[in-house]
Each structure stands twice: as C-alpha cells, then as structure tokens.
Amino acid sequence: MPLYRQQRILSLTETDVRFAMSERRVGQSLYRTECPACSACKGIRILVNQFVMSKSQRRVWNRWKKLGSRLRITMGPASYSEEKLALYNRHKQKRNLVSSEDGLMDAAGYVGWLIRSCFQTAEMCFYIDGHLVGVGILDLGATAISSVYFYFDPDPEWSALSPGVFSVLQEIGFCRRTGRTHHYLGLYVAECGKLNYKANYLPHQRLVDGEWHTFQ
C-alpha cells in the first residue's frame, strides 16, 4: 500500500483525478491499495444523479425528518474542537473500533489525520436538541466528494436512528445541490461486514482491474 505525502493543497480538478484512481487520504498523505496477493479491496462510488433510496434508507430518512426543528445540520470547513474529539473517542471505544495498544486519540492526532489535508476538506455536523450526535469529514473535488470518516454518538438513543445511513443520504443531497456527480465511499470488501454495507447504495460503481463497473 504505497503512501506518499503531498507538499501542497491540490486543486479541485486534481482532486477528482485522485478520487477516480481510488486514492484515499491520511492527513496530507495519499494511498491506494496495491496488494500483490490480494485484490479484495475495491474503490466504490455512488452515481449521484441515478441514486434512488431503498425502502430501508427511506425509513431512516423519514425517521430523521420527523425530528423537525430539533435537528440542525451544519456544513463548513473541517475544524477541531474538544467536543468533537470527545465524541470521536466515545464512538471508537463504544463500537470496539480501537485496540488497547492504540489508546485514545489526542488533539494532535485528530488534527493530523482529519483536519490537516492536501485536499479542500469540509465537515457536516449533526445536532439534535443542540447535542452533537455526528460528524462527517469530506474531501471535496470539482465533480465529486469523498467520505473520509463519519463518527457519531454511540448511545442507543442516537445510534438507533442509523446516523451513518442518514449521513450518506445527506452527503448525496449535498452533491446534488452543488452539481457533483459522484460520491466516493472509500473501499468495498465483499467479505468484510464493516465495508460491504456500502453496496446498499444503488446504483454504484466499483473499481475492478482499473475500470469502473456499474452495479444496479
């Protein structure tokens, strides 16, 4: 998995080229999977203009919309706060996404991974009754966006709302409002339960042997 550091912020058009090669970002560095003995990882992107919600996705959408004025969604440049860091660490701990060797993320780690970027990076924040319940970090291209990471409040009261699904639907809506045609969801692995859910957004394309193939 080659990892190389960018010395400058790429233009929106240059960013689209990186997305189309299924390159991912860690801080100011980019990588793409090139394992010689395995080809399980596939880049995956939603075809925004053709996307149609499934019945289950529609139920999640309606569940959030019933919150009415209790729900507030903000969009702006990605930034650090102690509130976001605390939520990130709670999400990782409660969902068993962090090993004992890794420990908690600190401010420098959060900024270095999610905020400091070689792309134009934004964040979508979700509040219910003024309480921060989810944060999505997005890299922006001219015709596409790429989801870097989404974390949310793991308490059952909020996690029962399926915030991960709702965040993707909101990001697709952002693409439509801004004339973007593709939403990159990162990597898809058929045998991995933490990654194969991405195939539920249809139609989508997967990068197979260097070419994007459509799945209906």
pTM reported for the whole predicted model = 0.93
- Looking at residues 148-153, what average pLDDT do you find? 98
Hey, what amino acid is at 91?
H
Domain that holds residue 122: 3-215
Tell me, what's the pLDDT at 99?
Answer: 65
Count: domains in the chain: 1
CATH number of the structural domain spanning residue 130:
3.40.630.30
Taking residue 142's Cβ as centre, other Cβ atoms within 10 Å add up to 15
Give residue-wise pLDDT tens across range 7-44. 789 999 999 999 999 999 999 999 887 767 777 889 99
Give residue-wise pLDDT tens across range 87-141. 999 999 998 877 666 789 999 999 999 999 999 999 999 999 999 999 999 999 9
Give residue-wise pLDDT tens across range 45-91. 999 999 999 999 999 999 999 999 999 999 999 999 999 999 999 99
